[in-house]
Structure 1
Amino acid sequence: MRYRRFGKTNLHLSVFSLGTMRCLASAEILWQTVQQAVALGINHLETARGYGKSEEYLGQALHHGVGVCRSELVITTKLPPMLSADVVDRWIDESLERLQIDYLDCLALHGVNTPEHLEWVQAPKGCRDALQQVLADGRVRHLGFSTHGSLEIIQGAIATGQFEFVNLHYSYFFQRHQPVLQLAQEQDLGVFIISPADKGGLLYTPPPTLEDLCQPFSPLELNYRFLLSDRRITTLSVGAANAAELITPLQTADQDGPLTPQELAVLTSLETHQSNALGSDRCRQCYDCLPCPAAIQIPEVLRLRNLAIAFDMQAYGEYRYRMFENAGHWFPGMKGNHCTECGDCLPRCPENLNIPELLKDSHERLKTTEGRRLWG
């Protein structure tokens, strides 16, 4: 296991972190998973108020013992941004009680996703003052934020100067947030990549087409190497549901050097294959088509179409597409069938794509029955 400095927190985190969102089957399973993670060198455990019984189960595991003392672990929890200082203060105490610890190494505001959330973060006599108080009294040592928001929202949150780290969606198949990595480096923020395997492409169960294209590497391995080769990134989340699910991802835990010529060649071939497969219909993710009058998140819809066609990532495309209209500010936007063919986006597309037709095609390819969030 390799370790990296987590920005200005000056904590040193293992390059893989254990996210406990999926360890919800029982306290015993979470305890076993944490013990295995620690034995394999993971020193960062992450949970959230919103993850069902995760805080409670993790607290029981820490109480029973996980193989190292408390001071050797970095524990992060998350809570939603709120206007009420009293609520923030009470929630932190409740998290500490459930976790059975005296302090949090890191607290992340969970889901700074909208302009309103950004206002709450900066509100005096509200969230901002409550967070300053818990930092001052030692209940929390370092403050960051987790986000599913737009690039502009993330950059705005960093610009407030209130945070020491960011929990960020970024992977080989989703590089929209590349500028955040540069901004984080400039301001010495730690970067925690969240869900790089699941939301990064369902890479634990890749389609055969993608497996073949990534040879001699697995898609999961190649994505992890893409991320770990970037020194601006501190740590990657592993959302294991049990101890056994830690084994495969941690096979790359000591491989954090620059990409090899062979790895670079495979990544180049993936890019070439995508261009050839999509031809003139490829959306290159410039985002110039936004905003859409019908509130369709056009680039993301077309990204899912790109992946489904080029790499047969149909299951991933369906999984993400059905979140539109069902996940609120966590995954905003309407489905492609809401396009009114107003043409507002057409003159702004540098590729001259027939966006209404591509949205219609995307909807037909990706529509499925509706789902729900894991902890909903």
Structure 2
Amino acid sequence: MRYRRFGKTNLLLSVFSLGTMRYLASEEMAAQTVSRAIALGINHLETAKGYGKSEQYLGYALAQLAIPRSQLYITTKISPTPDSASMARQIDESLARLGIDYVDCLAVHGLNTEEHLSWIEAKNGCMQAVQQAVTDGRVRHVGFSTHGPLELILAAIATDLFQFVSLHYYYFFQRNAPAVALAAAKDMGVFIISPADKGGQLYTPPPKLQELCAPLSPLHFNYRFLLSDSRITTLSVGAANPTELDWPLSIADSDGTLNPTETEILQRLQAHQASVLGPDQCSQCYACLPCPEAIQIPEVLRLRNLAIAYDMTNFGQYRYRMFENAGHWFPGMKANRCNDCGDCLPKCPEQLNIPALLQDAHERLNGPVGRRLWS
């Protein structure tokens, strides 16, 4: 296991962190999973108030394993609130469920909207309680997690209120690259969330994608893409049981720059997508927004890109079904809301026939709705 400095927190974190959203089966399974993670070199455990019984189960695991507190770094996450009293109460409740006196890191969870940012910046908002918790030692370091748009992430980083950020960034989703760069420039820790699942459901890749990533697996390639970037501190691995840790952590020492084989895979993926999509490829410039019908055009077309170029249709359907059903965690209307108004057409530098591509994307990706764990 390699370890990296988590920005200005100065914590030395393992390059893989145990994310605990999925280990909800039992306290005993949680203890076994945590024990295995620690044995494999993980020293950073991440949970959240909103992850069902995750905090409670992690607290049980910590008590059972009796590992010295100084040997582990624990992060929990609490959603932003408009007032300090609510945040103060929730911090105390999280510490009680975890059975510990302090958390190493507290992330404001799901800083996704302009309203959330206004609560953060308000004089008597939730950050007053967070800062008091830092003063009295219940919280050591403060950051934020986000599923929000790039512009909001950049604005949150620019407040200089945070020491780390947890965000989505993968080979198949590079929109947040400027946020990674700004965070690094401000010496913030960068925690990549859900690289296996939101990164493309890469634990069950389609044959076409496996072929293009050979001799690596797609998940292995994505991990290497991320670990080759020294600005990134740690990646979440969301194991539901101990055995799900073994393969990801087998590459936890592979954190150097991309080797020739990996560079060839990257070039092969790029060339294949360009070849297959041709003039219909959306390059994700985001110039088409805002859409009058609130369709997240670039994200819809990204999912279409992946489905056509790499046969990642199952992943595309999984994400597309979240539109209109996940609130600020995955905002936007489905592509069939397009009314051919043409507002996007003159904005597109590639002159894409966006209404036609949206219709095609909807036909490929629509299906039963999905909801978040805490909906």
- Fold equivalence (TM over 0.5): yes
Structure 1 Cα separation of the partners of residues 190 and 313 of structure 2: 29
What 5-or-longer segments of structure 2 have no aligned partner? none
What is the deviation of 1:257? 0.2
Q: Give the corresponding residue for 1:125.
A: 124
Paired AA for residue 5 in structure 2: R
Q: Could you list the per-position Cα deviations for residues 179-220 of structure 1 after superposition, in whole angstroms to 9, with x for gaps in the alignment?
A: 111101110000000001100000000001100110000000
What whole-Å deviation, never above 9, does each CA across 1:69-91 have from its counterpart, x for those lacking one? 11110000000000111111110
TM-superposed CA distance for 1:374, in Å, is 2.7
Amino acid at match of 2:278: G
How many Å apart are 1:128 and its aligned residue? 2.0
Q: Counterpart of 1:58?
A: 58
Q: Which string of whole-angstrom CA distances, capped at 9 and with x for unpartnered residues, describes residues 349-372 of structure 1?
A: 011000000000000000011122
- C-alpha distance in 2 between matches for 1:256 and 1:243: 23
1:147 aligns with 2:146: yes
Q: How does 1:186-265 map to 2 (within 5 A)?
A: 186-265=185-264
Q: Secondary structure at the match of 2:291?
A: coil
Q: CA deviation at 1:373?
A: 1.4
Partner residue in 2 for 1:14: 14
| Superposed counterparts of 1:2-151, under 5 Å | 2-65=2-65, 68-151=67-150
**Secondary structure of 1:220's partner?**
helix
How far 1:348 moved relative to its partner? Answer: 0.6
CA distance in 2, matches of 1:315, 1:249: 22
Q: Whole-Å Cα distance in 2 between the matches of residues 297 and 213 of structure 1?
A: 28
Residue 329, structure 1, aligned to residue 328, structure 2:
yes
Structure 1 distance, partners of 2:166, 2:128, is 22
Counterpart-to-counterpart distance in 2, 1:348 and 1:126: 38
What SS does the corresponding residue of 1:247 show, helix, strand or coil? helix
Paired residues, number: 375
Residue 359 of structure 1 is matched in structure 2 by 358
TM-score, normalization by structure 1: 0.99
Gap regions ≥5 residues in structure 1? none
Cα offset for 1:375? 3.8
CA distance in 2, matches of 1:374, 1:251: 29
Q: For 1:304-351, what per-residue CA distance to the aligned partner results, in whole angstroms no more than 9, with x for missing partners? A: 000000000011000000000000000000000000110000001011
Q: Distance in 1 between matches of 2:127 and 2:90?
A: 14
CA displacement 1:68-125 (0-9 Å, x = unmatched)? 3111100000000001111111100000000000001000000000000000011111
Quote the RMSD (CA, aligned, Å): 0.7
Secondary structure at the counterpart of residue 250 of structure 2: helix
User: After alignment, is 140-149 or 81-90 more displaced?
Assistant: 81-90
**2:311 maps to amino acid:** D
Within 2, Cα distance between the matches of 1:150 and 1:181?
A: 13
Is the counterpart of residue 179 in structure 1 residue 178 in structure 2? yes
Tell me which amino acid in the other structure corresponds to 1:336.
A
User: Residues of 2 paired with 1:371 and 1:288: CA distance?
Assistant: 28
SS in 1 for 2:212: helix
What letter matches 2:37 in structure 1? A
Partners in 1 of 2:119 and 2:255 — Cα distance? 37
Quote the Cα distance in structure 2 between the aligned partners of 1:352 and 1:4.
43
Q: CA deviation at 1:177?
A: 0.5
